[in-house]
Amino acid sequence: MARSAIINVMVQAAMKAGRSLARDFGEVQNLQVSLKGPGDYVSQADRRAEEILFTELSRARPGYSFLMEERGVVEGDDQQHRWIVDPLDGTTNFLHGIPIFSISIALERQGQLVAGVIYNPAMDELYTAERGSGAFFNDRRMRVAARRQLSDCVIGTGIPHLGRGHHGRALLDLRNVMAEAAGIRRLGSAALDLAYVAAGRMDGFWEDALSPWDIAAGILMVREAGGFVTDRGGGQNMFDTGSVVAGNEAVHRTLLETLKKPVS
């Protein structure tokens, strides 16, 4: 598959940062970990990967702005373009030796998502998408799954933990979706959850209390794979609300309806 220049830039940056994460993952027991907040750990590996991504993307596209998990907002001279970057989505998995984590890079142009890359270096799985050009898994085109009934579907979600999320709301959602779906999965990386929906591995996904860098690349990926993504109210304010609901047209619609139900 011939990649565009911008996707090549993003992939090369992700691969370089991924090699750094893979080395650290192999010695995960030796990492020095600092406490960033309740249940939210950030490691030296996280910082190293972010530095690589910042350096590589800045070199390739000087002047672009950044929104990054650790650095926050970095204003560039080019106000039309912004990188949205998570150098390690799934930090808790990483620190426990669970090989489900990812690097997520998205590019906004004039406020619109135009390119996305999600890379899991532990499994060497690369997901890419560009607006109007489709979505790909290791250079093979992706399509969302075709299942239409929740009773046939595996649905991904996030589960609030210490210091994050609304536990009561999550338990209500779980009860309602559990009663309808064939299965529920919690991977621990929202970026990979959305990539899995785009690839048809999972039929749908919902989660709250997310940040833009968790979901930006994945939102574009699902859409370019033929799926639908909104916030839990059915709107397009995912970055503001922190909520996301994704799936094919039928699953997305049913999930939105199910998430509105009271406990029966």
Residue-wise pLDDT for 233-246, tens only, equals 999 999 999 999 99
> Is 264 within the bounds of a domain?
no
Range of the domain at 180: 150-259
What are 127-157's pLDDT values in tens digits? 999 999 999 999 999 999 999 999 999 999 9
136 and 175 in one domain? no
226 and 205 in one domain?
yes
Does residue 217 share a domain with residue 167? yes
The response to whether 88 counts as a known ligand-binding position is: yes
Same domain, 33 and 72: yes
Instruction: Assess if residue 93 is contained within a domain.
Output: yes
Q: Tell which residue, 73, 94, 95, 93, has the closest CA to residue 83.
A: 73
89 belongs to an annotated ligand binding site: yes
State how far the alpha carbon of 35 is from the alpha carbons of 16, 124, 143, 203, in Å: 26, 29, 39, 35
Shared domain for 34 and 113, answered yes or no, is: yes
Q: Which of 82, 106, 141 is the last residue of a domain?
A: 141
Query: Which residues is 129 bridged to in the sheet?
Result: 116, 135
Please indicate if the annotation marks 86 as binding a ligand. Answer: yes
Q: What is the pLDDT of residue 232?
A: 97
Do both 160 and 122 map to the same domain? no
Q: Taking residues 172-176, what's their average pLDDT?
A: 95
Residue 31 assigned ligand-binding role: no
Burial of 184 (0-12, 13-18, 19+ CB in 10 A): middle
Per-residue b/e over 7-46, b at no fewer than 16 CB within 10 Å? bebbbebbbebbebbeebbeeeeeeeeeeeeeeebbbebb
Domain end call among 120, 141, 162: 141
Nearest CA among 263, 109, 93, 113 for reference residue 193: 93
Say yes or no: 131 and 154 in one domain.
no
The reply to whether 69 sits in an annotated binding site is yes
